[in-house]
Structure 1
Amino acid sequence: MNSKIEPANAAHAKTCCAATYGSDLVALLLGDSYHPGGLTLTRQLAARLDLRAGERVLDVASGRGASALVLAAEYGSAVTGVDLSEANVALATGAAQSAGLADRARFRVGDAELLPVDTRSVDVVVCECAFCTFPDKPTAAAELARVLRPGGRLGMTDVTVTPDRLPPELTGMGAWIACVADARPLDEYAALLTGAGLTVTHTERHDDAIAAMIDQIEARLTVVWMTARARAKALGVDFARAPAVLAAARTAVADGVLGYALLTAVKRR
């Protein structure tokens, strides 16, 4: 599979990602933390990175700011969140102000393939369940490496797939399952980062996290059906199709086709 979407489709892909993850649909189905494993896995990632107080952290595709606020509050990091969605940036900024963390967690609109961040200006980059959505993955990987200082660390969690075995039910659903459409095997993510000048230091599987998210979506769909059906339909939830999609996702996880992984890397000196 190519690592780059054709130019004619790249702008559309970015617009779709921004619109989807800046809308209320994902929050309706996933809650505050948009990625498998939630903030528990964010804390595990921070531990793997040996995150220390005062370090400058860039959270790429920071969403509504949940992870960035945890890193600022619990680890004493100075966090900048970058997200393609203006709505997400506004919500994250408001959450930081409400939490009394506006001096340590700041958010701005930006594209992962052209980060609005100075070269060699951060100690740590975090990217959770987002790299799989970037249309031009080699360029995004190069950007993640560019902003890191020599010896800086990268921590990433993401959806993994075996593309030629992915069932058709998982190639077109909106919201969370859209991440699957251009996700890659773990070794391909590692190769992309290596090609950008990073040295991969650790990988580990967390397939149980995506299995738990499938259960969470199913449970939330039941509640939403009873309490907010019209709103969910207006946002694009296809209640008739959802059971087949979720069943296919469960089977894909059980067969090792669909999973989730954590990866850390360091920028070469």
Structure 2
Amino acid sequence: MRARPWPPSAAKAKACCAATYGSEVMAVLLGDSYHPGGLALTRRLADRLDLRAGERVLDVASGRGRTALTLAAEYAVDITGMDLSDANVALATDAAQSAGLADRVRFEVGDAERLPVDAGSFDAVVCECAFCTFPDKPTAAAELARVLRPGGRLGITDVTVNPDRLPPELTGLGAWIACIADARPVDEYVALLTDAGLQVTRTERHDTTIAAMIDQIEARLAVVRMTARARAEALGVDFARGPVVLAAARAAVADRVLGYALLTAVKPR
């Protein structure tokens, strides 16, 4: 298996993620929802978790709050968003106030590997397109399990890879698509959650959603080049290599080397 190309320290990896996904460049590249499948897949995840009005939900790596606000508005849950980026938390808090949802949605700065909440605090936890970026995945999985009450449910959507077949163009990517760097096969995610004491109840492949995101990035890259090139390059976007990287990613999806999955699990009573 190839060495995983994360930065040399966990602290640097986390700082990289926080800076990248808290930036305006990522908003331009990825739109309102920073994950494949957008809100349609978020709603599917919520339905698979059977979210009910009044339940307490934790959104880990909540970004700018799109998922949390959607779940609060459409499923009437009480939700806390946790994100490593101060900028994301500030923007998400403003969005909750503007939407009139501040009574049921709150956002806090927090690390997925050391969640600042009590054990057994939540009926459900969601984590979209972020578990793959956590440097210490066993610790993060244990934290997700810890904060669930007995019988609580976990829902994850995330990038999947076959690391032994990943083309070289996708092993040294800039920050704008770095979530590929430490993604795992579905069975490794299942093993991580199982080792944390959770019972995996469902896995679904949604590879077409990542193919659609590749198309979206390709279409928006030209906009970033014109409107925010300096900032994008500071974050690691290489405009010269962009077409090569996107072509490699598209081929990897077609070959089922790169994909996207939905997983649900439950904490035993």
- Which bin holds the TM-score, normalised by the shorter protein? over 0.9
Is it true that 1:178 corresponds to 2:166 in the alignment?
no
Cα distance in 2, alignment partners of residues 209 and 159 from structure 1:
10
Change (3 A) 1:230 1:18: closer
Change (3 A) 1:6 1:160: closer
Cα distance in 1, alignment partners of residues 241 and 2 from structure 2:
29
Change (3 A) 1:239 1:202: same
SS state at 2:124 partner: strand
Kindly provide the CA deviation profile for residues 110-139 of structure 1, in whole angstroms up to 9, marking residues without a partner as x: 000000111001000000000000000000
Cα distance in 1, alignment partners of residues 203 and 141 from structure 2:
17
Cα distance in 2, alignment partners of residues 125 and 234 from structure 1:
33
What is the CA distance between 1:232 and its match in structure 2?
3.9
Cα distance in 1, alignment partners of residues 58 and 3 from structure 2:
24
The residue aligned with 1:145 is 145
Unaligned runs of at least 5 residues, structure 1: none
Kindly provide the CA deviation profile for residues 15-66 of structure 1, in whole angstroms up to 9, marking residues without a partner as x: 1111111112211210111000011100000010111100000000000000
Is it true that 1:9 corresponds to 2:9 in the alignment?
yes
The residue aligned with 1:99 is 99
Kindly provide the CA deviation profile for residues 199-232 of structure 1, in whole angstroms up to 9, marking residues without a partner as x: 0000000000000000000011123334554554
Cα distance in 1, alignment partners of residues 131 and 176 from structure 2:
13
Aligned identity (percent) is 81
- 1:14-29 matches, cutoff 5 A: 14-29=14-29
Q: RMSD across aligned C-alpha pairs, in angstroms?
A: 2.0
Is it true that 1:89 corresponds to 2:89 in the alignment?
yes
- 1:237-248 matches, cutoff 5 A: 237-248=237-248
- 1:170-209 matches, cutoff 5 A: 170-209=170-209
8 Å CA contact 2:25–2:231 kept in 1: the answer is no
Indicate the larger mover: 108-117 or 5-14.
5-14
Change (3 A) 1:162 1:183: same
Change (3 A) 1:4 1:126: farther
SS state at 2:187 partner: helix
SS state at 1:165 partner: coil
Kindly provide the CA deviation profile for residues 171-211 of structure 1, in whole angstroms up to 9, marking residues without a partner as x: 22224420010000000000000000100000000000000
Cα distance in 1, alignment partners of residues 259 and 7 from structure 2:
28
Letter in 1 for 2:224: V
8 Å CA contact 2:174–2:238 kept in 1: the answer is no
8 Å CA contact 1:122–1:152 kept in 2: the answer is yes
Unaligned runs of at least 5 residues, structure 2: none
SS state at 1:183 partner: coil
SS state at 2:63 partner: coil
Letter in 2 for 1:46: A
Change (3 A) 1:152 1:16: same
Indicate the larger mover: 2-11 or 172-181.
2-11
> How does the TM-score come out when normalised to structure 2?
0.95
SS state at 2:200 partner: strand
Cα distance in 2, alignment partners of residues 191 and 47 from structure 1:
23
Is it true that 1:66 corresponds to 2:66 in the alignment?
yes
- 1:226-241 matches, cutoff 5 A: 226-230=226-230, 232-241=232-241
Cα distance in 1, alignment partners of residues 121 and 4 from structure 2:
27
8 Å CA contact 2:174–2:235 kept in 1: the answer is no
Change (3 A) 1:176 1:237: closer
Letter in 1 for 2:123: D
Change (3 A) 1:74 1:172: same
- 1:46-65 matches, cutoff 5 A: 46-65=46-65
How many residue pairs match? The answer is: 269
